[in-house]
Structure 1
């Protein structure tokens, strides 16, 4: 039986209730910490603990003694329905799950601009819109603090946070339109979070080596416009997960289906409890029930 759908998403507005006030940060001087908001994009089908750990690792890296950033909060931005990935739950369902997952988190919220667009929206435009909305909110909420930032030639900046797999896809032909990837790297700060695993790339130094030794990427658009992208020109921040976490959305969906089937078939109490505990170890506790409701039937 198909799960009941949540109400349609309301018209877009920035969910700013968890953003820290600029007045709580030291922004008096041009050399003061740069205020930033972190953004994590993806299908989030569904969100799980490793997604939350992306934020925690990136925040820790940016606020370490070697860095000078003031993290004001963070947003998950799920793709819209037009992304068309098989098995993708509706934006309304995924937003409801994310909202439940971050309900008790002090910093994190969900941003719905991307998933309310009628067409698939590239990451550059998602980050661009989020930065505009965040700065507009601070301008309205704290005009004096924003005037001070502007006088220093600064603004609240969005930081793009991603995992190592997504970062590696920058080099995959056809995966990223190079003219948009170049604009993204020219405009936004970035943190790449990686797992401590065996392999060729297993440290920040390894990632830096790849960036410094890879040949420049090139693309010719349909209109003949040529784009060349040299990764050596950019600085990337690298962070490591605090603890290993190989949770995947695929695994979460499989456990949700198995749990639903065990409950419908009146399976053994031991098996149901095992599956419940397994799911609870993969996703925030506040999202377990919603994930089972929307993914337990296994259909699209």
Structure 2
């Protein structure tokens, strides 16, 4: 299949990211790898969209911290970006609304996938926190490759365009599901897929948790990419939801090793490790994220 014949994909992940873990980044990498292996898709970008503060989840730290941690976690990625749109709305937004926002945004900006177009000047600056004392938790194997604030901010300054958008080399996109009355010689299909773990997929089966109309839009109009987590039985989950069974063709199950260390990493485990002074937190979180948490004293006590 030629590149023009493949569907170009943006992976969008919604969630608390409280804090963002290595497992979240692993999901993006495994999903892109799997989609490319199918020969039907080209992943041209990834978007992390942290939830609004009013979501009401116990222990949710303010979005200014979660945005900064997310930005630190992907500072070395050339394709994953953090989008603050959800956090800057007046109130909590549904996953369906977030997907529709990004679809409409991409339609308005021809050939340019903007991630931070609505970012106000108060958005946290991507930067490496500078600590006077060495971190309590530190992965010494990665110290040699740890970027300094000067290097990182210089990189951002030099490639601001890249930080804001990913520009695929194509004439135009046709969004999946759109009907056009005119044709073009070079038309590429663009699709926004919701990236999630099997735990979110399982939540679709909980009566009353999701609106049926929202599930129809998420799975039917957009589609989802599911990365297995903690040995979940995805086939059993699929059989428990009529909406999931109805739109099986729009659900892409990543063939990942269920015993992979990253499949059991979670934000909850990371917070507990921080509260208990567990050095294994370096297995859960990237070093810049750990540095920021220690600098701001997030999650260190059970109440935070």
Both proteins in one fold, TM over 0.5: yes
1:238 aligns with 2:253: yes
Query: Alpha-carbon deviation of 1:249?
Result: 1.0
CA distance in 1, matches of 2:171, 2:293: 39
Per-residue CA shift, 1:26-64, capped at 9, x if unaligned?
Answer: 654xxx111111011111111101111111111111100
1:126 aligns with 2:98: yes
Hey, what does 1:157 align to over in structure 2? 191
| 1:290 is aligned to 2:298 | no
Q: In 2, are the aligned partners of 1:38 and 1:55 still within 8 Å (CA)?
A: yes
- Displacement of 1:295 after TM fit? 2.4
Question: Relative to structure 1, is the Cα distance of residues 215 and 114 closer, same or farther in structure 2, using a 3 angstrom cutoff?
Answer: closer
Residues 80, 145 of structure 1: alpha-carbon distance in 2 compared, 3 angstrom cutoff:
same
What's the TM-score, normalizing by structure 1? 0.70
Q: Secondary structure at the match of 2:261?
A: coil
Report the Cα distance in structure 2 between the residues aligned to 1:56 and 1:298, rounded to whole angstroms: 32
Normalised by the length of structure 2, the TM-score is: 0.69
Say if 2:303 is the partner of 1:299. Answer: yes
Cα distance between partner residues in 2 of 1:166 and 1:181? 12
User: 1:180 maps to which residue?
Assistant: 214
Give 1:253's aligned residue. 271
Matches within 5 A, 1:70-219: 70-139=42-111, 145-147=170-172, 151=184, 154-195=188-229, 197=231, 201=233, 207=235, 211=238, 213-214=239-240, 216=242
> 2:227 and 2:45 mapped to 1: Cα distance?
17
Q: Deviations over 1:242-284 (max 9, x none)?
A: 523312212211222334xxxxxxxxxxxxxxx4x42211111
- Do the aligned residues in 1 keep the contact of 2:96 with 2:217 (CA within 8 Å)? yes
Aligned residues: 235
How far apart are residue 88 of structure 1 and its match? 0.4
Rg larger for: 1
Name the residue aligned to 1:270: none
Separation in 1, partners of 2:168, 2:289: 36
Gaps of 5+ in 2: 113-164, 175-182
How many Å apart are 1:215 and its aligned residue? Answer: 6.5
**Which residue is equivalent to 1:4?**
none
Distance 1:196 1:100, change over 3 A: closer
The offset of 1:84, in angstroms, is 1.1
Q: Distance in 1 between matches of 2:35 and 2:228?
A: 15
Secondary structure, aligned partner of 1:88: coil
Task: State the shift of 1:240 in Å.
Answer: 3.6
Runs in 1 of length 4+ with deviation above 4 angstroms?
A: 140-144, 152-155
